[in-house]
Amino acid sequence: MTQHIGFVSTRFAGTDGVSLESAKWAEILWHHEHVSYWFSGRSDRDPAISMEVPEAYFGHPRIQAINDAVFGRMKRSSDVTDEINALAKSLKDSLADFVDRFGIDILVVQNALCIPMNIPLGVALTNFIAEREFPTIAHHHDFYWERDRFKVNAVGDYLTMAFPPNLPSIQHVTINTPAQHDLAHRVGCSSILVPNVLDFETPPEEVDEFAADFREAIGLTPDDLMILQPTRVVPRKGIEHSIRLVAELNDPRCKLVVTHESGDEGMEYHNALSEMATNAGVDLRFASTHVGDTRDYGPKGKKIYSLWDTYHHADFITYPSLYEGFGNALLEAFYFRVPVLVNRYSIFQTDIEPRDFRVITMDGFLTKGVLEKVQRVLNDDEYRREMVDHNYAQATRFFSYAVCRRKLRALICNFTGQDEL
| Confidence band for 263, pLDDT divided at 50, 70 and 90 | low
- For residue 280, tell me if it sits in a domain: yes
**Residue 311 is inside which H or E element, if any?**
helix 307-311
Residue 420's pLDDT is 58
Task: Tell whether 149 and 243 lie within a shared domain.
Answer: no
Give the pLDDT mean for 169-181: 97
Residue 206 included in any domain: no
408 shares a domain with 334:
no
pLDDT at residue 171, as a whole number: 98
CB 116 within 8 Å of CB 122: yes
d(CA 31, CA 231) in angstroms, rounded, equals: 31
Looking at every residue in the chain, the average pLDDT score rounds to: 95
Average pLDDT over residues 244-248: 98
Same domain, 306 and 346: yes
The reply to whether 223 and 151 lie within a common domain is no
Tell me the mean pLDDT in the region 255-281. Answer: 90
Half-sphere exposure at residue 60, Cβ-oriented, CA atoms within 13 angstroms: 21
**What pLDDT, on the 0 to 100 scale, is given for residue 417?**
87
Starting at the earlier edge strand, list the strands of the sheet with 291-292: 291-292, 303-306, 296-297
Residue 336 backbone class (left: φ over 0; alpha: ψ -120 to 50; beta: rest): alpha
Across the range 81-107, mean pLDDT stands at 98
pLDDT mean over 12-33: 85
Q: Are residues 336 and 387 in the same domain?
A: yes
Is the per-residue pLDDT at 397 higher than 70? yes
Q: Which residue type occupies 219?
A: G
Question: Do 96 and 238 belong to one domain?
Answer: no
Q: What are phi and psi of 171, to 5 degrees?
A: -100, 125
pLDDT digits (tens, 9 = 90+) for 105-147: 999 999 999 999 999 999 999 999 999 999 999 999 999 999 8
Please provide the DSSP assignment of 194-205 as one string: ----B-TTSPPP
Calculate what percentage of the chain has a pLDDT beyond 90: 89
Same domain, 154 and 237: no
DSSP string, 233-266: S-GGG-HHHHHHHHHHHT-TTEEEEE-S--GGG-
Residue 217 has pLDDT above 80, yes or no: yes
- Scanning 71-170, the segments in alpha helix (DSSP H) are 78-102, 119-132, 156-162
Whole-number pLDDT of residue 261: 86
**372 in the same domain as 233:** yes
Mean pLDDT within 62-91 = 98
Residue 68 identity: D
Q: Which residues pair with 285 in a beta bridge?
A: 257
Domain annotation covers residue 421: no
Pick from 240, 232, 207, 199: nearest CA to 334: 199
For residues 135 and 16, membership in a common domain is answered with yes
Q: Which domain holds residue 364?
A: 214-398
- Determine the pLDDT at residue 294: 87
Are 409 and 388 in a shared domain?
Answer: no
pLDDT in tens, 328-385: 999 999 999 999 999 999 999 999 999 999 999 999 999 999 999 999 999 999 999 9
CATH of the domain at 82: 3.40.50.2000
Q: Are strands 106-110 and 291-292 parallel, antiparallel or unpaired?
A: unpaired
* Statement to judge: residues 281 and 145 lie in one domain: no
Percent of the chain with pLDDT over 70: 98
Domains identified in the chain, total number: 2
For residue 268, pLDDT over 90 is answered with yes
Q: What is the CA radius of gyration of the chain?
A: 22
d(CA 410, CA 7): 18
- Position 32 scores a pLDDT of 64
What's the CA gap between 121 and 353, in Å, rounded?
36
pTM, two decimal places: 0.89
- In terms of pLDDT, which residue wins out, 330 or 15? 330
What pLDDT was estimated at residue 345?
Answer: 95
Residue 244, pLDDT > 70, answer yes
Q: How many angstroms separate the CA atoms of 275 and 53, rounded?
A: 43
- Helix or strand run (H / E) with residue 402: helix 401-416
The Cβ-side half-sphere exposure at 303, using a 13 Å CA radius, reads 15
Q: Which pLDDT belongs to residue 1?
A: 79
Are the C-beta atoms of residues 307 and 328 closer than 8 Å to each other?
A: no
**Segment 150-168 mean pLDDT:** 97
> 17: pLDDT confidence band, cut at 50, 70 and 90?
confident
